[in-house]
């Protein structure tokens, strides 16, 4: 064989491919033996190269991710409320918005969530995608405390040729079934693609990975941190009086995700208005309308997606036609012969008495297997719930159970704990155990429970992302004290980056990152646009909620899923040299 034919085979042979006849050639050819030796020398040289170490980039990457609650899917639960006496109606007085009632909504939602133990209703959804292109759905929701939910949406009309967008989500406590169309990136594509069905067993109670759509029952996560929402004229929906409030989409995500988490729905812009009407007595959302707002960012966002949404009428609407607070069908996960189950790893177990005693009945106790096994207890009263996780072997880095990133240290009788940005969880790190106390109840209630724990709650180790140790050294810019709306900033160093977390009222949170660098890297958001910030040209990426610019050898970013670009620029302008 000629050397030119053999050399490619030698190269392939070194990579483990079959190379017949090569050995024979090599025996008689010094040049080709040299070639083989050169390939091996090259390999060693490259391998030595590769032994350099890289710092852990995970914290920096996590700091740059869009901050959004996981959009899981709920199982159906049905329940009915035993007849409550309907409150006195103010006859003839329901023509206009009632700001007093509206102001009471957030508090009433938090307090009233234990009042709904069963719910059963039918509703209609209208989805306007483009002028002349509309889809309609018949929906059914059923709930029974503690955690059985059935949400079924059946498309009743829409353009021909598109995948049918009917979805089903049934959660029956530790089992759940989700079904829907193939997740298609375009409305008119994916022809013939199979719909999906996902069965989960061993589901942990009040799971955040596969959450039940409980905000459709009482929208606790929407109203937890809002105060004084503007009032809307009241309506009568499905024969029930309903109070109206105006919110914006970014605040309403938990409710929108509960309804639209499964299926191929049109997108909703974070700044769009959402009008929600809640049953006056039980605070169940009976009506919802999403409307476009004016704005350059929004216009560009809509143009890129082919949406033409007038501001005057809703492009998404939900309206109940019937509702009852008692009775309804049983909620069951019905498994098909072909269903393969995903095991989430939770098993009821006799794990002993919990270290806290909430004033609600205990509904679950067991072990959750995972990277680190943990004990889980759950309590529930109506739609309200509390959960405690305890791990004995958690090594970090990062607080056990912290999925949201931004936390604030808090003082506990036993030391230091950490509060999640939206107040829905408290994390505790101790020498021999790590705990997460979470729930749908108010932060004050969780705090009272955390304070009753006899645990030496320690500050996290310096190398965990939540650590506040070792800050303020070599910090380039700090936040001016006159920036209003946020608590004292928490600063830490992550590798060569300086990260400042701001936590504000409600669940407004922003993360400021400063890293050495001269210029911005290419953007990954097709909607990114140039903005003027601090006398230079920066970039705003709407889908990441990220404002970035470079100054004096440092690349600075301000990221938040809740704040508008104007507010991000306000924060940017509040940065100053110490």
Partner 1 sequence: MEEPEPALIRGAAAGDQGAFAELVRAYQAQVWRFLRHLLGDPALAEDVTQETFIRVFLKLRTFHFRSKFSTWVFSVARNAGIDAIRSRNRRSRLAEGLAPLTSTAGGPDRSLELETAIATLSPKLREAFLLVEVMGMRYHEVAGVLKIPEGTVKSRVFHARSHLIAWMRADIEDADEM
Shortest Å, Cβ 69 to partner 1: 7
458 counts as binding partner 1 under rule CB under 8 A = no
Q: Backbone phi, then psi, for 557, in 5-degree steps?
A: -135, 145
Instruction: Specify the residue, 42 or 488, whose C-beta has the smaller distance to partner 1.
Output: 42
316 vs 125: CA distance, rounded Å: 7
Instruction: Specify the residue, 30 or 61, whose C-beta has the smaller distance to partner 1.
Output: 61
Q: Backbone phi, then psi, for 424, in 5-degree steps?
A: -95, 0
43 counts as binding partner 1 under rule CB under 8 A = yes
Which one among 3, 24, 58, 236 touches partner 1, defined by CB under 8 A?
Answer: 58
Residue 67: how many CB atoms within 10 A of its CB? 22
57 counts as binding partner 1 under rule CB under 8 A = yes
183 counts as binding partner 1 under rule CB under 8 A = yes
Distances (CA, A) of 395 to 371, 391, 392: 11, 10, 9
Stretch that binds partner 1, among 240-248, 337-345, 476-484, 527-535 (CB under 8 A): 337-345
Shortest Å, Cβ 71 to partner 1: 7
Q: What is the DSSP letter of 441?
A: S
38 counts as binding partner 1 under rule CB under 8 A = yes
DSSP codes, 103-166 = HHHHHHHHHHGGG-SEEEEEEEEEEEEETTEEEEEEEEEEEETTTEEEEEEEEEE--TTSPP--
Instruction: From 406, 376, 408, 413, select the one nearest 391 (Cα to Cα).
Output: 376
Instruction: From 466, 369, 482, 387, select the one nearest 425 (Cα to Cα).
Output: 387
Stretch that binds partner 1, among 75-83, 105-113, 120-128, 403-411 (CB under 8 A): 403-411
Which one among 148, 165, 210, 252 touches partner 1, defined by CB under 8 A?
Answer: 210
8 A C-beta contact, residue 406 and residue 511:
yes
40 counts as binding partner 1 under rule CB under 8 A = no
Task: Decide the pairing of beta strands 196-201 and 341-343.
Answer: parallel
By CB under 8 A, the residues from 80 to 119 that bind partner 1 are none
3 counts as binding partner 1 under rule CB under 8 A = no
By CB under 8 A, the residues from 15 to 34 that bind partner 1 are 15-17
Q: How far apart are the first and last CA of the chain?
A: 74
Shortest Å, Cβ 39 to partner 1: 6
46 counts as binding partner 1 under rule CB under 8 A = yes
Helix, strand, or coil (residue 387):
strand
560 vs 540: CA distance, rounded Å: 11
Dihedral sign from CA coordinates of 282, 284, 290, 296: positive
Shortest Å, Cβ 8 to partner 1: 4
Which one among 3, 5, 24, 68 touches partner 1, defined by CB under 8 A?
Answer: 68
Which one among 60, 130, 197, 367 touches partner 1, defined by CB under 8 A?
Answer: 60
The string over 460-496, giving b where at least 16 C-beta atoms fall within 10 Å of a residue's C-beta and e elsewhere, is beeebbbbbeebeeeebbbbeeebeebeebbbbbbee
Shortest Å, Cβ 61 to partner 1: 5
Three-state DSSP string of 537-571: EEEEECCCCEEEEEECCEEEEEECCCCCHHHHHHH
340 counts as binding partner 1 under rule CB under 8 A = no
122 counts as binding partner 1 under rule CB under 8 A = no
Largest CA distance in the chain: 106
Cross-strand pairs, 318: 125, 288
466 counts as binding partner 1 under rule CB under 8 A = no
Instruction: Specify the residue, 64 or 529, whose C-beta has the smaller distance to partner 1.
Output: 64
**String marking each residue 523-562 x if it binds partner 1 according to CB under 8 A:** -x------------------xx------------------
52 vs 493: CA distance, rounded Å: 23
8 A C-beta contact, residue 207 and residue 344:
yes
Instruction: Provide the residue count of the chain.
Output: 578
By CB under 8 A, the residues from 431 to 450 that bind partner 1 are none
411 vs 428: CA distance, rounded Å: 11
194 counts as binding partner 1 under rule CB under 8 A = no
Which one among 33, 64, 130, 367 touches partner 1, defined by CB under 8 A?
Answer: 64
Stretch that binds partner 1, among 77-85, 204-212, 237-245, 470-478 (CB under 8 A): 204-212
Instruction: Specify the residue, 27 or 49, whose C-beta has the smaller distance to partner 1.
Output: 49
The answer to whether the peptide bond before residue 146 is cis (omega within 30 degrees of 0) is yes
Shortest Å, Cβ 150 to partner 1: 20
44 counts as binding partner 1 under rule CB under 8 A = no
Q: Token pair for residue 561?
A: 């899923």
Shortest Å, Cβ 480 to partner 1: 28
Shortest Å, Cβ 49 to partner 1: 6
Shortest Å, Cβ 126 to partner 1: 26
Number of residues located near partner 1, criterion CB under 8 A: 55
CB-based contacts of 99, cutoff 8 Å, min separation 6: 230, 231
Under the rule (CB under 8 A), what is the footprint of partner 1? 7-8, 11-12, 15-17, 35, 38-39, 41-43, 45-46, 48-50, 52, 54, 56-58, 60-62, 64-66, 68-72, 183, 185, 208-210, 342-344, 371, 398, 401-405, 517, 521-522, 524, 543-544
């Amino acid at each position: 064989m000629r050397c030119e034919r053999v050399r490619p085979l030698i190269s392939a042979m070194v990579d483990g491919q079959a190379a017949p006849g090569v050995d024979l050639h090599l025996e008689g050819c010094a040049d080709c033996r040299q070639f083989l030796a050169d390939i091996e020398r090259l390999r060693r040289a490259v391998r030595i190269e590769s032994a350099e170490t890289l710092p852990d980039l995970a914290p920096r990457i996590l700091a740059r991710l869009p901050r959004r609650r996981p959009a899981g899917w709920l199982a159906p639960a049905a329940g009915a409320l035993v007849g409550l006496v309907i409150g006195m109606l103010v006859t003839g007085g329901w023509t206009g918005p009632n700001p007093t009632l509206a102001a009471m909504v957030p508090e009433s939602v938090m307090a009233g969530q234990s009042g709904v133990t069963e719910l059963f209703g039918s509703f209609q959804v209208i989805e306007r995608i483009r002028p002349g292109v509309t889809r309609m759905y018949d929906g059914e929701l059923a709930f029974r405390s503690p955690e059985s939910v059935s949400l079924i949406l059946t498309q009743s009309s829409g353009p021909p040729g598109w995948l049918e967008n009917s979805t089903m989500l049934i959660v029956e406590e530790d089992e759940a079934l989700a079904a829907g169309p193939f997740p298609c990136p375009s409305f008119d594509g994916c022809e013939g693609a199979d719909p999906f069905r996902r069965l989960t067993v061993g589901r942990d109670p009040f799971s955040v990975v596969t959450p039940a759509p409980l905000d459709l029952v009482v929208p606790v996560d929407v109203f937890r941190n809002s105060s004084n929402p503007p009032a809307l004229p009241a309506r009568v929906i499905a024969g029930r009086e309903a109070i109206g409030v105006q919110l914006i989409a970014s605040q309403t995500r938990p409710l929108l995700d509960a309804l639209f988490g499964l299926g191929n729905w049109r997108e909703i812009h974070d700044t769009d208005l959402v009008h929600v009407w809640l049953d006056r007595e039980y605070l169940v959302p009976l009506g919802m309308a999403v409307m476009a707002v004016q704005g350059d960012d929004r216009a560009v966002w809509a143009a890129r997606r082919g949406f033409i949404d007038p501001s005057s009428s809703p492009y998404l609407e939900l309206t109940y036609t019937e509702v009852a607070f008692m009775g309804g069908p049983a909620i069951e996960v019905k498994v098909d012969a072909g269903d393969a189950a995903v095991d989430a790893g939770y098993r009821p177990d006799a794990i002993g008495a919990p270290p806290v005693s909430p004033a609600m009945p205990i509904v679950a106790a067991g072990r959750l297997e995972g990277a680190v096994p943990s004990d889980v207890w759950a309590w529930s009263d109506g739609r309200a719930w509390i959960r405690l996780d305890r791990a004995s072997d958690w090594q970090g880095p990062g607080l056990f159970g912290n999925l949201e990133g931004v936390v604030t240290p808090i003082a506990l009788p036993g030391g230091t704990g950490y509060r999640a940005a939206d107040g829905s969880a408290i994390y505790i790190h101790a020498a021999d155990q790590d705990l997460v106390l979470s729930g749908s109840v108010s932060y004050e209630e969780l705090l009272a429970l955390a304070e009753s724990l006899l645990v030496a709650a320690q500050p996290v180790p310096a190398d965990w992302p939540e650590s506040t140790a070792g800050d303020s050294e070599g910090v380039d810019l700090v936040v001016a004290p006159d920036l209003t709306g946020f608590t004292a900033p928490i600063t830490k160093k992550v590798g060569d980056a300086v990260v400042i977390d701001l936590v504000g009222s409600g669940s407004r949170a922003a993360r400021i990152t400063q890293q050495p660098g001269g210029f911005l890297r290419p953007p990954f958001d097709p909607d990114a646009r140039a903005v003027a910030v601090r006398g230079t040209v920066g970039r705003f990426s709407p889908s990441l909620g990220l404002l970035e610019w470079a100054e004096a050898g440092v690349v600075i970013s301000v990221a938040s899923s809740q704040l508008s670009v104007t507010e991000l620029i306000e924060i940017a302008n509040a940065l100053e040299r110490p």
